[in-house]
Structure 1
Amino acid sequence: MSERVIAPKSRGFLFLDSHPDGCRQLVDEMWQAVPAPVTTEGEGPVALVIGSSAGYGLAATIAGLARVGIRGIGVCFEKAPGRRTGTAGWYRTAATARLAQQYGRDMVFLNGDAFGDAMKEQVADLLAERFGGRLDFLIYSVAAPRRTDPDTGDVYASVLKPVGSPYTTKTLVFDEHGLPEVKEVTTAPAEGDDIEQTVAVMGGADWERWITFLADRSLLAGGFTTAALSYIGSPLTAAIYRQGTIGAAKAHLEATARTLDERLGKTVGGRAVTSVNAAAVTQSSTAIPGIALYTGLLRGVLGDTMVNPVGQLVELWDQLTGARPLDLDDEGRVRLDTWELVPAVQDAVAARWSTATSDTITELADLDWFSDEVHRLYGFSVPGVDYTAPVETDVPWPVPTALDTRVCD
């Protein structure tokens, strides 16, 4: 037993510890926010979610389990409890596994490097041994700082940089007393092979490798569908995001989708798409200069009409499973961000952006919501949790139960 009181201690938007009870309650809230399940006959479809423990990948996992009744595998890379608590994703995964079992969803979670072939082998073996050797859906939601190429052993590192010239933008920070400040930061442009390195990590290479690996093992079901989660964002952040190094990676991801779509259509009658999601507070997005300020201002404009990640992923699953028509843009992308990019909304956010200073920011952005969302990433600021009480931090990774070890016919 390792019970203790856990207080939120952070360096900027990065918290040093996570709260197990808060993470569990947050997952419960997400599950309860999913609409009633779509009626299906027999067992649910088999799905693989790569990047299942955080952000949109977590939302995809929970929405798939609660809405569609998926069974299958979630893959993530989280740190176990030790001297410090486990990562928030460790506790969220344990909570998701508990709910999956409670609702009779046969879901196994694997912790390790999704970029490596060892994980691909483990997933392929599990699909063959437990799920009848077929995979219906693959959701790809991976954000990482580096990737090791399994063929060459080369290590690639992704960077968040503009292309061509330095980029100066406003950004939102909180001082040591928790007071908001709007500052200007300048980011140097990409140099050398920064773009190629970022594309190698965050582009479509690993997604395509997963599909090829599973196809070579004859594990793709007829009509197999895969979606990679992406983001375009506002013109206010385009220079650092869509037009920057990460944007080059997203363009590569979308080109990979078109290649895979043609290939899967010919081989299994399947398809591949990218899903363009809308703004949200995630562990990845808070690291991008200007995104925190933009998201807080967007919330100030839209309030509760913002669609949270679970709501967006419910829509994606409905489209992928045929509960609703698949709605693609001219480039073959599912667009879940249309409400964010409405011209009137963007004009209102831009007007607030232009006048945002440390003195005015509390009037222009919903900072209480933003601060709570950042805390909730680590299990804090969750209603119903007693943060003054000791909590058990040594939560084990979810182990497959006897039900999970059955070989499917």
Structure 2
Amino acid sequence: MTTVIKPMIRNNIALNAHPQGCRQLVKNYIEEAKSLPLITDKNLNVLIIGGSSGYGLATRINLAFNAHAYTYNVSFEREARGRNTASAGYYNNRFFAEFAQEENIPYDDLNIDAFSHDAKNKVIEHFKSSNKKIDLVVYSVASGIRIDPDTQEKYTSSLKPILNDFKGYSVDIAKEALIEESLECATEEEISSTIKVMGGEDYLLWIQALDKADLLAPKAKSITYTYMGSDITYPIYKEGTIGHAKRDLESTNMQIQEIMKKYDGEAIVSSSKTVVTKASVFIPTVALYASALFKVMQENGTHESIIKHKHRLFHEMVYGGNPTLDQSGLYRLDAHELDPKTQAIVSEIMNQITPDNFKAITDFELFKQLFLEMNGFSVLGVDYQLPTDSSDF
């Protein structure tokens, strides 16, 4: 059975994905990564926790197809069921494997809840049986839910302010319209639950497990991604529940650094630029901020694709020995975004936005394009009028 797959978006949630669109997007990412300078000529064994989409996928593609590293990806993705397509991350993993096989690039995937003890045990068993030590651990998990591996209690993250109630515009992607939203301050329980899901606890458990199993190689590195953003978004992000979780992740990195010291290694936290994610479309102001930022950075010539952004991190900073650091020791990959002149222009645009003019004075079209691409739609090189065989689901 064949059918034409069209994007289904409800309340800014993509309910389906296009398999051939995901395939083409992965292919486009690979070709871009291969066109960039070699990251390193070291033979790397890389464990990526959360490598099926976003920055995790961009990291994996750069390291596999540019540095020819062995990558082992742990991610939890939905398979197709009946008439429902699989998740975009499921297709991304599938087609990454297809292209890696074509070029004889080694890889492995484990589709499992990364928060579970079972996930850690299976990864350890694999690396021990393969007689491989891990040179780089990348922790890039993006989940709104976590089940505690010991108590089995379910925790859910919240996108809320903490200091004051917040009012701002959200963007309805499907209708291309602005909606004014108000968010009340988070409760203490919501704050602690968000930290439980998105903070550093699970990251530390991973590094402790790998250390105990003696799987970290000499001079091994670990890296996780955080986000600061602009003061325009501070009230809802940096000073909100997600920001508190990110600060917990950063502080936990100090404990991880103590472990990595035993291997003469390094634990890195990299602050990334604003990108379109499944979460960002729900946060008032953030989608508009991103749309304005993309416009300004493109005009300045400082806008980077997600592939180029992560390539710069590994090529220049992690393996190039030339990191941009702040006083806390964070790798500031977001320096171009937070350039004062760039921020001044973005702020000016944000102050002028209305429901009538936002598409004209920002690059909302690019924001929407990137949102659709996350799920395999609107990808250059795909004919979306052609029916897709259901076996591709």
Shift of the alpha carbon at 1:173?
Answer: 2.1
Kept after mapping to 2: 8 A contact 1:148/1:155: yes
CA distance in 1, matches of 2:163, 2:277: 27
Unaligned runs of 5+ in 1: 397-409
Unaligned runs of 5+ in 2: none
In structure 2, relative to structure 1, the CA distance for the partners of 1:218 and 1:320 (3 Å cut) is farther
In structure 2, relative to structure 1, the CA distance for the partners of 1:50 and 1:272 (3 Å cut) is same
Question: Where does residue 123 of structure 2 map in the other structure?
Answer: 123
Question: Where does residue 59 of structure 2 map in the other structure?
Answer: 60
CA distance in 2, matches of 1:255, 1:336: 19
Shift of the alpha carbon at 1:257?
Answer: 1.1
Q: CA RMSD in A?
A: 1.7
Question: Where does residue 161 of structure 1 map in the other structure?
Answer: 160
Shift of the alpha carbon at 1:143?
Answer: 1.5
Q: Does 1:317 align with 2:318?
A: no
Question: Where does residue 299 of structure 1 map in the other structure?
Answer: 294
Kept after mapping to 2: 8 A contact 1:172/1:181: yes
- Poorly superposed stretches of 4+, deviation over 6 Å: none
Question: Where does residue 171 of structure 2 map in the other structure?
Answer: 172
Kept after mapping to 1: 8 A contact 2:211/2:259: no
Shift of the alpha carbon at 1:328?
Answer: 2.4
CA distance in 1, matches of 2:256, 2:44: 21
- Counting matched residue pairs gives 388
In structure 2, relative to structure 1, the CA distance for the partners of 1:211 and 1:320 (3 Å cut) is farther
CA distance in 1, matches of 2:53, 2:377: 15
Amino acid of the structure 2 residue aligned with 1:92 = N
Kept after mapping to 2: 8 A contact 1:37/1:66: no
CA distance in 2, matches of 1:140, 1:392: 35
**Structure 2 counterparts to residues 237-386 of structure 1, below 5 A:** 237-265=233-261, 267-303=262-298, 305-319=302-316, 321-386=318-383
Shift of the alpha carbon at 1:174?
Answer: 4.0
Shift of the alpha carbon at 1:359?
Answer: 1.4
Q: Residue deviations 1:128-181, cap 9 Å, x none?
A: 112x23111010011211212212222222111111321111222246xx3x32
CA distance in 1, matches of 2:218, 2:392: 39
**Structure 2 counterparts to residues 143-222 of structure 1, below 5 A:** 143-174=142-173, 178=175, 180-222=176-218
In structure 2, relative to structure 1, the CA distance for the partners of 1:108 and 1:3 (3 Å cut) is farther
Amino acid of the structure 2 residue aligned with 1:289 = P
Shift of the alpha carbon at 1:321?
Answer: 5.0
CA distance in 1, matches of 2:73, 2:155: 24
CA distance in 2, matches of 1:102, 1:323: 29
CA distance in 1, matches of 2:157, 2:389: 35
Kept after mapping to 2: 8 A contact 1:181/1:357: no
Q: Residue deviations 1:30-60, cap 9 Å, x none?
A: 111111434526xx21001111111111111
CA distance in 2, matches of 1:150, 1:374: 32
Structure 1-normalised TM-score?
Answer: 0.91
Which segment drifts farther, 89-98 or 256-265?
256-265
Kept after mapping to 2: 8 A contact 1:296/1:370: yes
Question: Where does residue 100 of structure 1 map in the other structure?
Answer: 100
In structure 2, relative to structure 1, the CA distance for the partners of 1:347 and 1:320 (3 Å cut) is closer
Kept after mapping to 1: 8 A contact 2:60/2:71: no
Kept after mapping to 2: 8 A contact 1:162/1:189: yes
CA distance in 2, matches of 1:354, 1:57: 33
Structure 2-normalised TM-score?
Answer: 0.94
Amino acid of the structure 2 residue aligned with 1:376 = E
CA distance in 1, matches of 2:386, 2:96: 23
Which segment drifts farther, 10-19 or 236-245?
10-19
In structure 2, relative to structure 1, the CA distance for the partners of 1:224 and 1:55 (3 Å cut) is same
Question: Where does residue 391 of structure 1 map in the other structure?
Answer: 388
CA distance in 1, matches of 2:324, 2:348: 31
Q: What SS class does the counterpart of residue 340 from structure 1 fall into?
A: coil
**Aligned residues: percent identity?**
32
Shift of the alpha carbon at 1:320?
Answer: 5.9
Question: Where does residue 234 of structure 1 map in the other structure?
Answer: 230
Q: What SS class does the counterpart of residue 66 from structure 2 fall into?
A: helix
Shift of the alpha carbon at 1:322?
Answer: 2.4
CA distance in 1, matches of 2:371, 2:220: 36
Q: What SS class does the counterpart of residue 394 from structure 1 fall into?
A: helix
